[in-house]
Structure 1
Amino acid sequence: MNKKYANIIIIAVSIIIAALIIIPFAIQPFEEPSGKFFRVSSHGDSRVNILLVSWLGCPIGASLSWPLYFALTHYGNVSYYQWHSDPSDVYPDTPGLIFTGFKSNAINATFIYLYNETLTGNAQNKTINGNLVDYGLSELKSSVNVSEYEIIKKYTTQEWISGSFFQSSADSVSPHHINTVLLISGPNGTYFLNGGLYSPKNISSYSDNYLLENGLNITYIRSAENEIENQIKAVE
């Protein structure tokens, strides 16, 4: 090969490699955080309100259910049943809780599950006509208040999510769907969590019963529970 062309190829390859390294850092300021709380509004509800949006087979939702459960028990009584995430997911059979209700004189908590265990239908296993994102947004629009809906829509379907390379969080997963999010609002503002607070694989070896009894002795769950508690206090 001609030395001149060889040098051109080397330079071109070097530029491509450099671009692949630099671009993620260059776009990071334009991406929204994943896996940590961030403030989305200085306004909120007159009373502390917690909204969990997930789906029955979500391993992120399963992992997030434990710190949320322990945080909520400080304020009231939580109704739930034990569950495991989609066995075909990248984090299969993650132990978790599906929340069915919450009674408290101190705060409100609402739980919405948009899809079934395998993303093949809604939470009641009825076929979804159209794509999962549109269905999820339609369900949320009829289930939550306008400000909550607009926040979830913006940060799951419009804004780029960290590490997604120019994609929203809903578009960065396959099949595209509204992913697990947690919204905490109150008199002093609103905070949003897109995704989980730790990897589902960190609790994959535990049983539901063990986690119910000993979950707060596990570092990941304890740390995540503290983060949720901090956000509750921040909006009070």
Structure 2
Amino acid sequence: MNRRNLITAIIEIIVIITGVIVYATHFVVSAQPIPAGKFIKISNVDLAPKGKVIIVEQSWYGCPVGAAASWAIYDVLQHYGNLSYKLWYSDPYRTPANIPGLLFTNFTSNSIVDFYIAYVYNEYLNASYNGTPIPQNELVSVGEQIIKEEYTQMDLPSQVAQYIIQYETQVPIQQYGEPSAFYGKPSHLNFAILISGPNGTYIVTTPIVNRLSLHFHFNHFIFNRD
């Protein structure tokens, strides 16, 4: 390669890298805020196996939001399969403290619905779900790696973890002014439910504990009926 061609190649590489950086920066900065407590459609793509609907939850053992939401989730999912669970309480050192809830341990489907859940952190938000210590300033980054690994082991498409991470860490919540992962202190992956089926993919990353609201979203968005 002569000098002129080498310079041209270097310039082209720089232009490509610059374009990627500008695109990534624009994506994060221009992310439109989403409302709290509501499912939003994020893609027309169906991430579920053919003829199925997947409901994917992300939470952590001590999550007060997850504890409160677990009752509504159970009330809805019991119509689509058999749920195994343990009675549990949220982190006693956070406000609100000691919220009673259900830790889901297994789901056996008897319908078109498949349910998956990944608990990222322990009860006290200082370690992973299996007890590996996590420094407070690494809770988000380590949590991202955990859900990628967990959902991969569940044979879920990689887009599931990508969407949950994206909408918890990059997309602001209208009522919070920042993404849900950075609303509480220390920053951490908080809570999310992703639903995907023939009508596309939907997500919520903030509290949704109303049974009727969950029923509505499942029927309207997934089964295409009210």
The amino acid that maps onto 2:133 is: T
Q: Indicate the SS of the match to 2:57.
A: strand
Aligned twin of 1:96: 101
- Is the 8 Å Cα contact of residues 55 and 195 (structure 2) preserved in structure 1? yes
Deviations 1:99-136 (A, max 9, x none): 00100132211111000111010112221266000011
Quick one: percent identity of the two aligned structures?
37
Q: Distance in 2 between matches of 1:124 and 1:147?
A: 24
Aligned twin of 1:138: 145
Q: Distance in 2 between matches of 1:111 and 1:86?
A: 19
Q: Distance in 1 between matches of 2:217 and 2:88?
A: 22
Question: Which of the numbers 34, 37, 45 marks the counterpart of 1:35?
Answer: 37
Alignment of 1:196-235 (within 5 A): 196-198=207-209, 221-230=210-219, 231-234=221-224
Point out where structure 2 has 5 or more consecutive residues left out of the alignment.
1-30, 152-156
Q: Distance in 2 between matches of 1:182 and 1:95?
A: 19
Point out where structure 1 has 5 or more consecutive residues left out of the alignment.
1-28, 199-220
The amino acid that maps onto 1:141 is: K
Q: How many residues align?
A: 184
Q: Which runs of 4+ in 1 moved over 3 A?
A: none
Q: Distance in 2 between matches of 1:53 and 1:185?
A: 15
Q: CA deviation at 1:140?
A: 1.6
Aligned twin of 1:60: 65
Q: CA deviation at 1:63?
A: 1.0
- Cα 1:227–1:84 shift into 2, 3 Å: farther
Aligned twin of 2:10: none
TM-score with structure 1 setting the length = 0.73
Q: Indicate the SS of the match to 2:183.
A: coil
Question: Which of the numbers 77, 86, 96 marks the counterpart of 2:82?
Answer: 77
- Cα 1:157–1:108 shift into 2, 3 Å: same
Aligned twin of 1:112: 118
Aligned twin of 1:181: 192
Q: CA deviation at 1:234?
A: 3.7
Q: CA deviation at 1:161?
A: 1.7
- Cα 1:232–1:94 shift into 2, 3 Å: farther
- Is the 8 Å Cα contact of residues 199 and 222 (structure 2) preserved in structure 1? no
Q: Distance in 2 between matches of 1:141 and 1:171?
A: 19
Q: CA deviation at 1:62?
A: 0.6
Aligned twin of 2:9: none
